[in-house]
């Protein structure tokens, strides 16, 4: 595992794994945005960062110069492990994505809502009698992992494995290729077992849906394709939503005015959720530069990776007035938390439903809570940002 | 401000964020892939004009056209 030297010059040497970025990236993005719409670092074998909404959008729409075959910026460039459609470029992208879209429409995810509501209440039952809890570790973390297990038709009790693999792939794997490869292999073996089982015993879950899918020539998908898509659903569906739920509750724990307003005016919840998604967008994607081009006047060259920071775009004051303020009834909020262009997050409707139910059920049962002054809030590093430890106390502050 | 409003979703731009449907379900519907379409010919019934503008303002892909007849 390689340790990175601390950053002294963010403009020419940024590092999204630096502890200061992990703790509070917003002032860093502001400094970079004031300097240039695109900045570069020699770290990670060369990487760009667009800092404005306009630059992020231009790159997200440009599949000719920017490939999705690698969607995480790491110290190394291992052979890409396909996880279609997130790692697919046109023309392969569209058919792979269309297979996944129908189970994730708002109407389809609505059917999962009762299970999600039950999961939230089962979790709250475990700590409601205590003085407080770690919201990230005991609540936010478990909601998406159990929901996606329920959808895929795999045991919710295996959740701890999934959380371990995701931590290894998205966080430790940025700097340690051996851990990354090991986790990818373990996950592959796990799903291969479930696929084999369904060949003899078909089910009506999402794994079977993928196995029964046919491509445009009427052929079933290869096991590698099915496995890649399953890996994607598990990785993309868990710590992203965990982070979004955690960041929303973090905001509410430290902002009594917003908390009281949401309790009194629950009809504001949809706009509050959109604002939490904008202000605390968890997901930074990546692209690989394939051909030389210019973004917002800045030349970008092949051989470099590029951090596609939707979170930084969503803090751009050119698009969002008072971008650094959280305004829970913001009327105009066309944020890019779920991406822009053809790679719009396939699970966005599921994530919104989980966030809404998680905040709703929490506020019904725990309307008053504050950050525990004796505890420490910690944030995840790298690609997905959210609280990993979030100690709160229940009740009004004494 | 006299004419009737019409909404239209540009299918080349829509990526299925579904913001329009959640803000103005009287004006937009989703297909089996979750992509949005205007309901009927897109004519905005009286009283729903604000919702049409709101949906347009919140589309991240700038896929919604609102025209005044």
Does the pLDDT of residue A2 top 60, yes or no? Answer: no
Which two three-digit tokens encode residue A15?
A: 């590092």
Instruction: Show which of residues 155-184 on chain A sit within 8 Å of chain B, judged by CB atoms.
Output: none
- Whether residue B18 and residue A341 make contact (CB cut-off 8 A), yes or no, is no
A35 in contact with chain B, both atoms CB, cutoff 8 A = no
Does the pLDDT of residue A1 top 50, yes or no? Answer: no
Q: Please count the residue pairs, one from chain A and one from chain B, whose beta carbons lie less than 8 angstroms apart.
A: 52
CB atoms within 10 A of CB A241: 28
Residue A304: in which H helix or E strand, if any? Answer: none
Of the candidates A357, A356, A319, the one whose C-alpha atom is nearest the C-alpha of residue A336 is A319
What global pTM score does this model have?
Answer: 0.95
Residue A218 CA, distance from chain mean position? 33
In a domain, residue A300? The reply is: yes
Which two three-digit tokens encode residue A356?
A: 């809404």
In a domain, residue A282? The reply is: yes
Does the pLDDT of residue A175 top 90, yes or no? Answer: no
The CA distance from B35 to B64, in Å, is 12
In a domain, residue A28? The reply is: yes
- Whether residue B61 and residue A104 make contact (CB cut-off 8 A), yes or no, is no
Interface of B with A (CB under 8 A): 15-19, 21-22, 30, 32-34, 54, 57-62
CA within 13 Å, CB half, A344? 25
Domain ranges of chain B: 5-68
Q: Which of A139-153, A171-185, A313-327, B27-41 has the lowest mean pLDDT?
A: A171-185
B64 touches B7 (CB < 8 A): yes
In a domain, residue A86? The reply is: yes
The CA distance from A88 to A84, in Å, is 6
- Whether residue A105 and residue B34 make contact (CB cut-off 8 A), yes or no, is yes
pLDDT string in tens for chain B (69-residue length) = 557 999 999 999 999 999 999 999 999 999 999 999 999 999 999 999 999 999 999 999 999 999 998
For chain A, percent helix, then strand, then coil, each to nearest 5?
50, 10, 35
Of the candidates B65, B67, B63, the one whose C-alpha atom is nearest the C-alpha of residue B18 is B63
DSSP per-residue codes, A47-72: EEEE-SHHHHHHHHH-TTTEE-S--S
Q: Considering only the beta carbons, identify the residue of A102, A334, A342 that sits closest to B32.
A: A102
Predicted local distance difference test score (pLDDT) of residue B1: 52
Domain range for A185 = 10-394
- Give the residue-averaged pLDDT of A157-179: 89
Question: pLDDT tens digit string along A185-199?
Answer: 999 999 999 999 999
Question: pLDDT tens digit string along A287-319?
Answer: 999 999 999 999 999 999 999 999 999 999 999
In a domain, residue A18? The reply is: yes
Does the pLDDT of residue A112 top 70, yes or no? Answer: yes
DSSP per-residue codes, B39-56: STT-B--TT-HHHHHHHH
Report how many domains make up chain A.
1
Predicted local distance difference test score (pLDDT) of residue A231: 86
In a domain, residue A2? The reply is: no
**Whether the bond into A91 is cis, omega within 30 of 0:** yes
A178 touches A246 (CB < 8 A): no
- Residue count (chain A): 398
In a domain, residue A1? The reply is: no
Which two three-digit tokens encode residue A54?
A: 């306009």
Average pLDDT over all residues of chain A:
94
State which fold the B5-68 domain adopts.
Alpha-Beta Plaits (3.30.70)
Distance, in angstroms, between B3 CA and closest chain A CA?
24
In a domain, residue A112? The reply is: yes
**CATH code where residue A254 lies:** 1.10.630.10
Q: What pLDDT band is residue A239 in, cutting at 50, 70 and 90?
A: confident
Of the candidates A169, A166, A193, A163, the one whose C-alpha atom is nearest the C-alpha of residue A181 is A169
Question: pLDDT tens digit string along A83-105?
Answer: 889 999 999 999 999 999 999 99
Name residue, tokens 């979170």: A311
């Amino acid at each position: 595992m390689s340790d990175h030297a601390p950053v002294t010059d963010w403009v020419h040497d940024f590092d999204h794994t630096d502890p200061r970025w992990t703790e509070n990236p917003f002032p860093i993005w502001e400094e970079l945005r004031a300097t240039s719409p695109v900045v570069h670092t020699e770290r990670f074998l060369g990487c760009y960062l667009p800092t404005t909404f306009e630059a992020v959008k231009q790159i997200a729409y440009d599949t000719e110069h920017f490939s999705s075959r690698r969607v995480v910026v790491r110290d190394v460039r291992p052979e890409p492990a396909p996880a279609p459609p997130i790692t697919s470029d046109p023309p392969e992208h569209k058919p792979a994505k269309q297979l996944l879209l129908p189970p994730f429409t708002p109407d389809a995810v609505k059917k999962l809502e009762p299970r999600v509501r039950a999961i939230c209440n089962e979790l709250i039952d475990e700590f409601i009698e205590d003085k407080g809890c770690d919201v990230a570790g005991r609540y936010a973390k478990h909601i998406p992992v159990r929901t996606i297990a329920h959808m895929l038709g795999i045991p919710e009790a295996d959740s701890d494995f999934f959380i371990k693999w995701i931590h290894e792939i998205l966080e430790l794997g940025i700097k340690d290729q051996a851990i990354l490869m090991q986790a990818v292999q373990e996950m592959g073996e796990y799903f291969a077992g479930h696929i084999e089982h369904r060949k003899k015993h078909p089910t009506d879950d999402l794994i079977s849906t993928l196995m029964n899918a046919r491509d445009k020539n009427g052929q079933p998908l290869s096991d590698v394709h099915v496995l890649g898509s399953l890996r994607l659903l598990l990785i993309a569906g868990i710590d992203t939503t965990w982070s979004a739920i955690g960041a929303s509750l973090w905001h509410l724990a430290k902002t009594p005015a917003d908390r009281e307003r949401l309790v009194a005016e629950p009809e504001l919840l949809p706009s509050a959720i959109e604002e939490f998604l904008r202000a605390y967008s968890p997901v930074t994607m990546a692209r690989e530069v394939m051909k030389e081009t210019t973004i917002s006047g800045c030349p970008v060259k092949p051989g470099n990776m590029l951090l596609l920071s939707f979170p930084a775009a969503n803090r751009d004051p050119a698009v969002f007035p008072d971008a650094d303020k959280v305004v829970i009834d913001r009327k105009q909020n066309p944020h890019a938390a779920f991406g822009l262009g053809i790679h719009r997050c396939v699970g966005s409707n599921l994530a919104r439903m989980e966030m809404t139910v998680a905040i709703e059920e929490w506020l019904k049962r725990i309307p008053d809570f504050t950050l525990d002054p004796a505890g420490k809030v910690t944030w995840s590093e790298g690609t997905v940002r959210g609280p990993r430890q979030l100690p709160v106390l229940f009740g009004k502050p004494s | 401000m006299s004419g009737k409003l019409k909404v239209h979703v540009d299918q080349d731009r829509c990526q299925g964020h579904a913001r329009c449907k959640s803000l103005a379900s009287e004006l937009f519907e989703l297909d089996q892939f979750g992509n949005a379409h205007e309901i009927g010919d897109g004519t905005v019934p009286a009283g729903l004009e604000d919702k049409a503008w709101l949906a347009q303002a919140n589309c991240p892909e700038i896929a919604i056209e609102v025209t005044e007849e």
